[in-house]
Each structure stands twice: as structure tokens, then as C-alpha cells.
Chain A
Amino acid sequence: KAGVTQTPRYLIKTRGQQVTLSCSPISGHRSVSWYQQTPGQGLQFLFEYFSETQRNKGNFPGRFSGRQFSNSRSEMNVSTLELGDSALYLCASSLAGRQSPLHFGNGTRLTVT
């Protein structure tokens, strides 16, 4: 079974631009979550989608948005990029249920210059 796939793997953007990251979950997983990982802040929850609906949102500004499609694939978008947005963005998918672990992709490394 294929794992969680994130594209692109690396991305370099300049301040003020916008970026879209993509995530394909494990087949059959309907829950997709996004996390931002930085050396200073560690892993921070961005948002979670289930059946195309946002179920939870972390404490990030409105520049960060996401969506989920009917095939469970998800995208996140960051507009008006800032230097502080440089991070590893991780996507994770899971089955429904509190006992189900998250399965992570290898992430998209975003560098904002």
C-alpha cells in the first residue's frame, strides 16, 4: 500500500508570493492533517480535514488555508509569504477513530527568501 505522498519535496519562494502544497493520503484514509515543523517552535498543528470539511484549525493566521477534495487528497495554501514561513510542512492521514495513528509523508521543505 502506498504511503502518504507530498509534493513538491522542496520549494523556494520569495517574500510576498503564494504557494500551494499537495498531499495524497493513504488509500482509504479520509482524515488529513497538516503540521508545520520548525527548529524553534517544533511541530505545530495547522488544520485537519475529514470528508472535505475542516474539523480543526490551529492558531495560524488566515494566510494559511487548506482544502480537501472528494478523493481525500488535500492541498494547503500560504499567501503573502513571510520569511518566518520557512519550515517543513508535514501532511498526515489516518482512519477515523481516536485509536488510529497518523501516517506522515516526508514533507515539503519550504524556504522563503
Chain B
Amino acid sequence: GNSVTQMEGPVTLSEEAFLTINCTYTATGYPSLFWYVQYPGEGLQLLLKATKADDKGSNKGFEATYRKETTSFHLEKGSVQVSDSAVYFCAPNRGSTLGRLYFGRGTQLTVWP
């Protein structure tokens, strides 16, 4: 089956620090990989995605590369801002179905000014 191991939080950083949130997955088939972000009181928003090996997804300064050989999809940002404070979720989909994502436990990020 599919599963996700995501870096435990909480992660606390100062503004402009470098961010890495590790994510590894197990999956049958060839999943697409997603990072979602959840701000307080809201649902999840798609942050970025990658659909095949070596693809790099990027958005708002965040990047993640689909590494099939290590089954990883680590999230990085070179310089975080206070507004990046949120919970981040890594999620592969199940290759043959539509709406079922396998979410990690989420990583709480807090950025201090």
C-alpha cells in the first residue's frame, strides 16, 4: 500500500532562514506527489506538485524534486517569511484512483521575525 513518512514538527525558524521538510513515501505504481499547506482555520491548499521522476515542482519560493530512486519529495525554501507559518503536508496519490491522497502527519512551521 501507500504511506508517507514526514519530518516531525514543530519546526521553528527565524525569518530568512533556510527550510527543509523531509518526506519519503512508499507507493505502488507511479504516484504523483503533492505538497499542501494549511493555514489556521482553513482547508488545505495545493503548494506544488510533481508527476514524474526528476520533476521539480515550485511555487512561492518553495521547491521539491521527485526522487524516484530514494522515494523522496523533500520541501525546501531558501528564505522563509513570517507568512509561511502554517502546517505542511506531503501526499502521494494512489496511482490508479482519483481523489485518495495519502497524507503525512503534517509539519507545523513557525517563523519568527
Contact = CB atoms under 8 A, between A and B. Distances in A.
A99 B32 CA distance: 6
Q: Is the interface of A mostly helix, strand, loop or mixed?
A: strand
A81 interface: no
B100 A48 contact: yes
Interface in B41-60: 41-46, 49, 51
A61 interface: no
A72 interface: no
A102 B99 contact: yes
Contact of B97 (A32, A55, A90, A104): A55
Contact of B51 (A31, A90, A99): A99
A74 to B, nearest CB: 11
Contacts, number: 70
Interface of B: 31-32, 34, 36, 41-46, 49, 51, 89, 93, 95-101, 103-106
Contact of B34 (A31, A48, A101): A101
Interface in A35-59: 35, 42-43, 45, 48, 50, 55-56
Contact of B103 (A32, A42, A103, A107): A42
Interface of A: 4, 6, 31-33, 35, 42-43, 45, 48, 50, 55-56, 90, 92, 94, 96-107
Nearest to B31: A98
28 contacts: A4-B43, A6-B43, A31-B99, A33-B100, A35-B103, A42-B105, A43-B89, A45-B100, A50-B99, A55-B97, A55-B98, A56-B97, A90-B43, A92-B43, A92-B99, A94-B98, A96-B98, A97-B98, A98-B51, A98-B97, A99-B49, A102-B34, A104-B36, A104-B43, A104-B44, A104-B45, A106-B41, A106-B42
Nearest to A88: B43
B32 to A, nearest CB: 5
